[in-house]
Structure 1
Amino acid sequence: MTQNIMNSARNTLLEVFGFPAFRGSQEAVIERVIGGCSTAAIFATGAGKSLCYQLPALHLPHLTLVVSPLLALMQDQLAFLQRHGVAAASLDSTQDRDTARAIMDRARSGELKILMVSVERLKNERFRHFLRQIAISLLVIDEAHCISEWGHNFRPDYLKLPDYQREFDIPQALLLTATATPAVIDDMRAKFDIALDDVIVTGFYRSNLELLVHPVETESRLPALVEWLSPRQAPMSEPESQAPTIIYVTLQQTAESVAAAMAKQGFSVRAYHAGLDSETRDRIQQEFMHGEIPCIVATIAFGMGIDKGDIRNVIHYDLPKSIENYSQEIGRAGRDGNPSRCLMLAGRDGLRVLENFVYGDTPEREGIRHVLSEIADAGRQAERQWPVLLNTLSRDSNVRLLPLKTLLVRLEMHGVIAPRFAYLAEYRLRYLEAPSDLMARFQGERADFVRLLVDNIAMAKTWGTVDFERLYRAGVEAQIDASRSRVIAALEYFQDKGWVVLEGKRMTDVYEVRQSEIDVDALTDRLLAECHARERSEIERLQAMLTLFESDICLARRLGDYFGDDSFQGDNPIAHDDAGQSVQAARDCGHCSVCQGHVARLPAAPALPELTRDDFERHARPWIQRHQEQLGTVPGAQRIAHFLCGLAMPIFTPLKARQLAGFGVYDQRPYPDVRAWVERQMVVAG
C-alpha cells in the first residue's frame, strides 16, 4: 500500500510540479503525511519545506489548512501553487468581502485543496464558525518554532494551535521550520504529540556558502563594505550585470544612510524597511526579484517569502538578532547551488541596541499588577468571565502588545485563566437590497425575527450599528430568540446571500478566571521574575551569537552543533548538497573564514563619556515634568530609562513623549547602565 501511495506521489511530483525526483528528506516527510502521521520537518532554508504540504494536499481527501505568520510567505507560496494549477487560496485583511466569501464558498464545496491564513485569523469567531462547517485533513504550521517560548521568535498566538487542531477535529499536523534547536524541537513535538521517528531534520551544512566574519570598527565599516563588494558587484556596470546582494542592518535610519552612501559610490541600491509604505516595499521587492535593483540594504523586514535563487552575497553590516536569524538570513544566499558569500562585518557596537530591545520587552511591575487586579475583580463575579480588548488593556496597563500577549499565555500556563471564546465587539451592516424585500423572503417566526433585526438596527445614512443588548431586550419582549449567536448567524447568512455587507471590529477575547481568590502581589512578583528570566535567556542568546562569530572552530560545524545537526560528528561526517542529497563532507568545511585561517575578534563598542547631573536635568527632567503635569505622578526609573533609550511604551503615545528632545538620546548606551544612573539621580534629587 505504501509503495503504491508513493508511486502516485512521484507521479504528482512530475506531472503537477514538474520535478523529476524528491530532494533530500522531502520523500520521508511526504510519505509520513500521506500515511496519516503528524510530522515535523526541520529543513535548512531553501531545502524545499513547502512541497512537504503542497504535494500531500493533492492526495488527502479534504482541505489542507496552512497557518503562516506573514502575508509575504503566503503570497509567494500561493503564486507557486497557482502556476502549477493547484486549487489554493489565502484569506487576508487586504481582501474585500466578496473575495473572501468566494474563497470560503470554494472551501465549503470541496473545490479548494489548500487554504492559507495568518494565525491571528483563528481568533475570529466568524472564521472559526466557518471552519467548523468544513472537513480538514491536515493542519500545516509554517515557522513552527514560533510555538516555543525557547525559540527565537516566540509568538503567543501559536500556543493555541494545538487547541485549534482539537477544536476543528483535524486528524494530523505538519510542523515546518528552518531554525529549531533540540530544545525547541522537543517543545514542538510534545505540543502536537509527534512521535520521535516522525521528526525529520536535514543537515544545515551547504557546501556552496562561504561563511566569512571580517569585523571592523564602526567608523571603518562603510569603506570596508564598499571595498569588499566593489569587485564582486561591479558598481559602475548595468544593474542586470551586478550580483544580487542583500545587506542587513538593524535600524531603519541605518538602511537609509548606508544605501545613500553606496549610491554615491555608483551602486544601484535601495533601502528597504518597515517605515516605508506597503506599496513602496512591494515595488522594491519586485524590482529586486526581477534584477532591476541588484542590491538591497534592509532591516529584517526583508527576506521572508523571498525565493530568489541567484542571491550571491548576504552581508551583515550590523549584528543579526540571534544565531537563528543569522542562519535564516544567510540561507537566502545561493539557493541555485552556485558559490555565494555570507559576510559579517559588525563589531560589538550593535550589541547595545539589540540588548536594549530585549530589556524593552520587560513590563513594569505596576503594569503586571494592573492586569492581575482586573482578573481578580472578574474572578469575584458570579460568571467569572473576563472580557479583554487587547489594545485597551495594553494602554491601561502600559504593557506593550507582544509582552502583554506573552503575559496572558503565562497566566494560562499557571492555571489562572483559560481562553473560552473571542468575538468582535462591534458589527455594522449596509443593506444591498431594501429591508422590506429582505423581510419578504421569510415566513412565520423567521419573518418576525428578521423584522425585529430591521427595526432594531439603527441606520445612519448607509451603515447601521448592531446593538446586541438592544436586540436581546427586544427579543425578550417579543418572545423571540434574539441571542447574540443567532443574530450573528443570521447576519452572516444575509451576507453570504449578498443581501447585506457585514463588517466587524474590536476583537474581544473572553477568558474564564479559574481561581476565585488571587494573591495579586505574590503572583505579580512571580510573573516579573519569569520576565526577568526570559530577559536573561535572550541576553545569553546574544552572547552565544558573539561566541559563534569569534569561534576558532569551523563556523559551519559550530552552526551545526547549535542546531543539533550531527553532520560534523564522527569520522565520516555527512553533509547535504544543494539538491538535498547526502554527501560526504570534510570534518571542517574548508571555506569559512576560520578554515581559511582567520579567527575573528569583534571590536569593542566605542567608549562613551560618563553621564552627569546636567545630562539628567537636560534630557530626563522635561519628561518627568510632562508626566507629572498630565498624570499627577513622577515616573519610575524604568519608565524614565525607557524614554531615554527610546524603548516604546504605550504611555508614550498620549503623553507625546517622542516630541521631547530627550527621547532616545541614549539609544546607544546599555539600558541597565542608563537605568542604574537614573536611579542614582532620583535618590540625589530626593
Structure 2
Amino acid sequence: MTQANIESARKTLLDVFGFPAFRGGQQAVVERVIAGRSTAAIFATGAGKSLCYQLPALHLPHLTLVVSPLLALMQDQLAFLQRHGLAAASLDSTQDRDTAREIMERARSGELKILMVSVERLKNERFRHFLRQVAISLLVIDEAHCISEWGHNFRPDYLKLPDYQREFGIPQALLLTATATPAVIDDMRAKFAIAEEDVVTTGFYRDNLELLVQPVEADNRLPALVDWLVPQQQPGREAPTIVYVTLQQTAESVAGALASRGLSARAYHAGLDSETRDRIQQGFMDGEIPCIVATIAFGMGIDKGDIRNVIHYDLPKSIENYSQEIGRAGRDGKPSRCLMLAGRDGLRVLENFVYGDTPEREGIRHVLSEIADAGRQSARQWPVLLNTLSRDSNVRLLPLKTLLVRLEMHGVIVPRFAYLAEYRLRYLDETANLVVRFEGERADFVRLLVDNIAIAKTWGTVDFERLHRAGEAAGLDASRARVITALEYFQDKGWVVLEGKRMTDVYEVRQPKFDIDALTDRLLAESQAREQAEIDRLQAMLDLFESDTCLTRRLAAYFGDTRFEHDDAPMDCGHCSVCHGHIARLPGAPSLPELTDADFARQAGPFIERHREQLGTLPGAQRIAHFLCGLSMPVFTPLKARQLNGFGVHEQRPYPEVRAWVEEQIAQAG
C-alpha cells in the first residue's frame, strides 16, 4: 500500500468516522484490505473490529458484502454506519418485499457500499441470482470463528462461505472475530487461503480489567451478589453493571430480588417482546437503568464504554463466551471489575445441553438410508427440506446440519443448488396488460405463464412442472430458471407480488454405494467425539476459574496471546483474584437422592406408554434419558412429551448418570 493510500485512509478515518488515529491493529488490517489481500483480524472484544471493513469499503470500487450471524449485530452496525453517512443497508426477514427490492436495486446500481446479510440468506435461490448481477469487492465474515468445528458456536452454514466466495467471484475476504484459539485461527486461514502474515491479532490482555473468582454455593449466591453490588449502586453514583445468568427465569428472579433490595435493576432475555427489550437496552445505554440482569441475548454489538462491572451469576458456556462477555467491561480504558460468583451447580445443565445435541444412531441411519435411496436413482439428486428431515429422522436441526456437512467432508454428498420449493404470486395489474408489454417469443412465453398459473381468489401457485410441460408442447423455453427470472422482473416492475417458501437444498449423491451401517457407526463416533470435546471445553473453563496461576496470563495463553511469553513480561498481572492471593475451589452441586425402580416407573412410565401407543415402538435409552433430563427431540412435539410430569424431572442430574440408570432399568425389564 502506497503512502498516498495510507494518508487517504487516515483522512477518511478523521473526516468520515471522526477518529484522529487508528487503534491497535486497525491500521494493519485496513492497509492489507485496501491493498487487495485477504486478511483475518483477531481483535479482543471492543477493540474496533468493525472499522476494519467499514473504512476500506469506502476505498474499494464495488460492494462490500458483510455476513453476520445475528440480526442485532447487523442493526447496531448499520445504525453506526448510517449516523456517519455511509450508504449501507441490511437484508433481513423482518423487511417487506418492497423494502428488500429497493435495497437490492440500490446495490445493483452501485449506490450501496455495504450490504449486510445473514449466512442463511446465501442459500436463497433468488438472493444468489441477485448476487450474480452485482460486482462485489470484499466478503466480510463477522464472528468468523463460527466457521471452525474446533471453535465455539460452530455453525455448519459457515463452512460453505469459501465456496460462496468462489461462486460469486469475490476477490478477497476479511475474517473478523474476538475469540479464536490458535487451532481455530489455523482452520480459518486454511479455508480462505489467508497468508500467515495477513493474520492480525491484537491480543487478549487488558490491564484495566480485574478478574475475580469468588466461590459461592448456590443458596448463598444471591446474598453474595447483593453484598457486592450495594456499595457500587448508591443513588446518584450507580456503576453500570451487567449480571449474566443462564436461564430466563433466573434473570427475572435475580432482577426482582435486586429491585426488592432497593437496587435499580431490570431483567433482559429473549422471552421479552422486542419493544420491551429495545426499551430496556436503550435505558441501560442512556444510564437510566444502571444494572441489567441478562442472558447472553444481551450484549452482542453493545458499545457502551463505561460498563464498570460484568458479573457472572451462573457459569458461562465456555472460556470463549466468558472472554466475550467480560470484554464488554471498561471499554473506556478505566478500571473495571469482572466477578465470577462460581459454583459447580450450573455445570450439569451446561453439560446436558451438550449431550442433547448428539443424535440417536437410528436417526443417523435414517438420513443415510434416504441418501442411499436417492443414489439409486438415475439423476442421483437428493432434495432436502431440513425441517421435514429433522422431524422424520428425530435429529435436531443444528446436529442435522452438522451431519450433512460431515457427509460432504466424507465425499458422500455434495451440494448443488438450493431453491424455494413453492412460489406464489398475486397480480397487481391486469394479465392482459402484462402480455401486451412484450412482443414475439417473449409475448408467447408471458401468455404461457398467465395461462398456466391458476389464480384462486387473489393468489396463484407456480407449478414449475406444469409450466415446463406446457413449454415443451408450445416449443418454448419454460425452464424453472427462466420462469423465476421473469417473475422477479415482473415484481421489480411492480406488476406482481411474488412470495417463496419451503427452502429446499439439493445434493448430488457422489458415493451411491456405501455401507450404511459402517458409515452410521463412523458418524456416530464423530458426533460423540465432538460431544466429548465440548465437555472438555467446559472442564477447561473450570480449570481456568480454579487456576493457581495468574488468571489473566492463563486466559491470554488459551487464546495464543504471546505477549506473556517474553522474558520481560510479568509473570503475574497483579489485578486478578489469584494475584490477590485467592485461589478458588468451586463448591460442588448439592447431592441428590439415589434413583430407584419406583422412580423409573413413575417418571418414565407414562412417556414409554404414550410412545408405544402412538408410534408402535418402545423408546430407546437415549430417548428416555433425553425426556427425563428435559432435552428436546423432534419426536417429542407430536408426542406432546413436555406435557407429561416426568419431562425434565432430572435436569439437574448428570446426563450420563441418568442414561446409565435408564439402560439398567431396560435391561431389568428385559
| From 651, 658, 663, the counterpart of 2:642 | 658
Q: 2: distance between equivalents of 1:204 and 1:130?
A: 39
Q: Residue type matched to 1:651 in 2?
A: V
Please give the alpha-carbon distance, in whole angstroms, between the structure 2 residues aligned to 1:455 and 1:2. Answer: 61
Residue 29 of structure 1 contacts residue 52 of structure 1 at CA under 8 Å; is this kept in 2? yes
Aligned residue runs from structure 1 range 135-154, under 5 A: 135-154=135-154
TM-score by length of 2: 0.99
Matches within 5 A, 1:158-307: 158-234=158-234, 237=235, 241-307=237-303
Partner of residue 587, structure 2: 603
Which aligned pairs between 1:389-408 and structure 2 lie closer than 5 A?
389-408=385-404
Specify the SS of the correspondent of 1:361.
Answer: coil
The equivalences for 1:484-523 within 5 A come to 484-523=480-519
Q: How many positions carry a matched residue from both structures?
A: 670
Matched, 1:617 2:613: no
- Show CA shifts across 1:74-108 (max 9, x none): 11111111111111111101111111111111111
Match of 1:669 among 628, 649, 653: 653
Cα separation, 1, equivalents of 2:659 and 2:26: 50
What corresponds to 1:471 in structure 2? 467
Q: Supply the AA of the counterpart residue of 1:87.
A: A
How far 1:571 moved relative to its partner?
A: 2.2
Alignment of 1:402-421 (within 5 A): 402-421=398-417
Report sequence identity in percent.
84
Partners of 2:62 and 2:571 in 1: CA distance: 46
Deviation per residue, 1:368-408 (Å, 9 max, x gap): 00000000000011000000000000000000000000000
Secondary structure of 1:653's counterpart equals helix
**Residues 193-229 of structure 1, C-alpha deviation per residue, up to 9 Å, x if partnerless?**
0000000111211111111000200100000000001
C-alpha displacement of 1:300:
1.1
User: Counterpart of 1:337?
Assistant: 333
2:243 maps to amino acid: I
Name the CA distance, whole Å, in 1 between partners of 2:63 and 2:87.
10
The one-letter code sitting in structure 1 at the alignment partner of 2:661 is W
2:627 to 638, 643, 663: 643
Is it true that 1:356 corresponds to 2:352 in the alignment?
yes
CA distance in 2, matches of 1:250, 1:656: 25
Letter in 2 for 1:247: V
Letter in 1 for 2:631: L
Post-superposition offset of 1:455: 1.4
Alignment of 1:424-503 (within 5 A): 424-503=420-499
Tell me the distance in 2 between the aligned counterparts of 1:528 and 1:119. Answer: 27
Deviation at 1:282, TM superposition (A): 2.4
CA distance in 1, matches of 2:55, 2:45: 19
Q: CA deviation at 1:276?
A: 2.2
Retained in 2: the 8 A contact 1:243–1:312? yes
Q: How far apart are the structure 2 equivalents of 1:341 and 1:183?
A: 29
CA contact (8 A) 1:568 1:588 kept: no
Deviates more, 1:150-159 or 1:293-302: 293-302
Distance 2:398 2:156 in 1: 8
Distance 1:15 1:264 in 2: 48
Superposed displacement of residue 346, structure 1: 2.2
Q: What residue identity is the alignment partner of 1:675? A: R
Match of 1:580 in 2: none
Aligned to 2:58: 58
What's the RMSD between the two structures over aligned residues? 1.0
Whole-Å separation in 1 of the counterparts to 2:372 and 2:511: 8
Are residues 1:110 and 2:110 paired?
yes
Q: Which amino acid aligns with 1:454?
A: V
1:369–1:524: 8 Å Cα contact kept in structure 2? yes
Task: Give a deviation string over 1:49-96, Cα, whole Å, max 9, x none.
Answer: 000000000011111000000011111111111111111111101111
2:20 partner SS: coil
Which residue in the other structure is 1:632 paired with? 616
Give the TM-score, by structure 1 length: 0.97
**Residue 73 of structure 1 corresponds to which residue in structure 2?**
73
SS at match of 1:61: coil
Query: Hey, what's the Cα distance between the residues in 2 that align with 1:363 and 1:50?
Result: 37
CA distance in 2, matches of 1:296, 1:475: 61
The residue number in structure 2 matching 1:8 is 8
- Between the aligned partners of 2:454 and 2:182, the Cα distance in structure 1 is 57
- 2: CA distance, partners of 1:489 / 1:267: 59
Task: Read off the aligned partner of 1:282 and give its amino acid letter.
Answer: D
1:35 matched residue in structure 2: 35
Matching residue's letter, 1:119: V
Q: Which amino acid aligns with 1:549?
A: F
Distance 1:230 1:326 in 2: 24
Code of the aligned partner of 1:382:
S
Query: Could you tell me how far apart the structure 2 residues matched to 1:224 and 1:178 are?
Result: 31
Tell me which amino acid in the other structure corresponds to 2:613. E
Alignment-derived partner of residue 46 in structure 1: 46
- Give structure 1 stretches of 5+ with no counterpart: 574-585
1:290 to partner: Cα distance: 2.0
Unpaired runs of at least 5, structure 2: none
CA distance in 2, matches of 1:363, 1:381: 27
Moved more, 292-301 or 590-599: 292-301
